[in-house]
Amino acid sequence: MYRKAEENAHNEILAFLMTVLGVNLLLGGLIVAILVAGELSWFLIFPYALPQKSSAYIGLILTFTGFLILSAGFILVIHYDRKRKWYIKEIEKSSLPKKWKKDYETVKQILEEYVGKRKKESS
């Protein structure tokens, strides 16, 4: 279980790096679209340059790819974080000493048991 928790922590870091890559691509695509285009056309919320430019759709491609990678990375960060927390909780449950898991007897149960032993000894 320790290895699975460590593996999920590692995957969480990689997913976070994936979100950083997505942000870089998204911003790069927006900057390229703004710099290359005299006028911007819009595809939903993504700007792109008009087709008369040689690099007409590179901004749109970078922006769209960045948005997808950013979204996927964010979802994976949450997924791996939850899995890691579950493994850590299971490790904590299984590592409790046996004496702490034991049901403690009440004073009444102890006295009844003691009285029962005294009766056996006296008879």
Q: What pLDDT is recorded for position 105?
A: 62
Domain locations in the chain?
A: 2-96
Q: What is the mean pLDDT of each run of 10 residues along the chain (123 residues)?
A: 85 94 92 73 62 66 91 95 89 70 65 74 65
Cα dihedral 20, 25, 28, 34, rounded to 10, equals -130
Tell me, yes or no, if the pTM score tops 0.85: no
Cα dihedral 62, 64, 67, 70, rounded to 10, equals -60
Q: What pLDDT is recorded for position 54?
A: 55
Q: What pLDDT is recorded for position 101?
A: 54
